Amino acid sequence: MNRPIRRVAFVTMLMFALLLANGTYMTLFRTGSLAAEPQNRRVRDAEFAQDRGAILAAGKTEIATTEPSKDRFRYQRSYPAGSLYAPVTGFYSYDHGSSGVESTYNSQLAGTADALFVRRLIDLTTNRAPQGASVQTTIVPAMQEAAARALGDQKGAVVALDPQTGAVLALVTSPTYDPNDIASHQIEEAGRAYDRLAGAEDRPLANRAAREIYPPGSTFKLVTAAAALADGQEPDSKVDSPARLTLPGTKTVLPNSTNCGGTSITLTQALKVSCNTAFANLGLELGQDKLREQAQAFGFDQRHLADLNGVASRFPDDLDDAQLALSSIGQFDVAASPLQMAMVTAGIANDGVVMDPYLVSMVQAPDLKPLSTHEPTELSEAMTPENAQQLQQMMVETVASGTGRNGAIAGVEVGGKTGTAQSDPSRKPFAWFTSFAPADDPRVAVAVVVEDADIPRQDIAGGRVAAPIARAVMEAGL
């Protein structure tokens, strides 16, 4: 072989070696990134054509399912109840990915999770179409329906928890959307539907229950009351409650929205009538460190409900005395999700133990073998049992003869707290109510926020607007 031919052969072998090395590198190290590349339509087509596992509510109610279709994708993702469970399931879209449980449990639903490797090999050798795992949620259909019906078209959210386990029993936001519109195989129509929802002023794609935070208003007085009890005060301890309080270092006057019943009242009376000046004075007496520690013991400043990528609620740092007084009544920069306020109430109802909230109880293979199950987990002990029981009784009195009367249920002892939160002078106040029932053996804790009640501004109050919604959810769960 002459020298030129040898050179050509050498260069050819080198090129093949480089090509083989590059192919090996791509296979071993770049498969994931290439598969996730938005331009890679083959991967997207293959994934969208999977026989995706079902998402279930309690009682094996299918809230997201897959049906065979006679088009290029072979399977159609559908949501039988339309918008009812959208904040839970999220959506599964060709061009816009996924959200909610569809996103956080995507690999299990698609059948690509490591736990399903053996199953995939069996499907491959038997030439059977791969099938995804099913995801069992803790949502109770009757409570979800009651929450959606009671909230109606009002902008806001409802969360219901099992105080003893942390299981999410209902999770509703409004306005909402129909995931079927985004999951459609008519790709252009689905894209237009998504763009319309994503650009809507009232943000129907937002999960207001777990991923939005609001000033909690007077519902935060539960945290202040818990801190006071931890500091040695009793339900009948007296608190200064003037008709108006000038905030320290300012000329700003904090008024009461109700007659507190005197200028020195008990802690129970202050909670029952939601006396602003009493709780502002209480916060000033406790100091910001004790108040912040109590809020954090209930879960503030931490993210919760990873199943839906929940956001952290917030208690501010470095407060001056005026800011501390406002923070003690849930104003200034205090911000909480409905999920967080449900956790506060659930922790009080559970004798001071806050359970970590969860939405998915089990992931089940197509052959019904459990791949994973969730065990209830204690998050913190926010109160001693004795203090929690005292606060439970104070909340019961608030519903029986205080601002929470509209949350009462005939024949059932209910504990609750109202809240009306000012946020922006140009916007209506937020109406809150949080509650638990039955008082002797709490099985449901609920938090409700209504952002924009359809009544005059001066008539908005948590007891009037939000309490009836919470009552409907509790009744459905008892």
Sorted by sequence, the CB contacts under 8 Å of residue 306 that are 6+ apart come out as 104
Angstrom distance (rounded) from CA 397 to CA 281? 22
Q: Is 328 noted as a catalytic residue in this protein?
A: no
What is the rounded distance in angstroms from the CA atom of residue 132 to the CA atom of residue 134?
Answer: 7
SS3 463: helix
3-state helix, strand, coil in the chain (%, to 5): 40, 20, 40
Residues 6+ apart with CB under 8 A from 456: none
Contacts of 458 (CB under 8 A, 6+ apart): none
CB neighbour list of residue 7: distance below 8 Å, 6 or more residues apart: none
Distance CA 234, CA 444 (A): 26
Burial classification of residue 268, based on how many CB atoms lie within 10 Å of its CB (0-12 exposed, 13-18 middle, 19 or more buried): buried
CB atoms within 10 A of CB 214: 24
Which of 134, 184, 218, 241 is catalytic? The answer is 218
All residues at 6 or more sequence positions from 219 whose CB lies less than 8 Å from its CB, including other chains: 330, 336, 341, 344, 417, 418, 419, 432, 433, 434, 447, 462
Q: Can you tell me the distance from the alpha carbon of 451 to that of 203, in angstroms, rounded to the nearest whole number?
A: 13
Say how far apart CA 217 and CA 86 lie, in whole Å: 28
Q: Residue 275 and residue 271: Cα distance in Å, rounded?
A: 7
| Residues 436/442, Cβ–Cβ less than 8 Å | yes
For residue 365, give the DSSP letter.
-
List the Cα angle 447/140/297 in 5-degree steps. Answer: 40
Q: What is the per-residue DSSP string for 246-281?
A: EPTTSS-EEEPSS--SSSEEEHHHHHHHT-HHHHHH
Cβ atoms of 156 and 449 closer than 8 Å = yes
Residue 139 identity (one-letter amino acid): I
Q: Are the C-beta atoms of 274 and 303 separated by less than 8 Å?
A: no
d(CA 366, CA 48): 18
Residues 348 and 338: their CA atoms lie apart, in Å, by 16
Active site members: 218
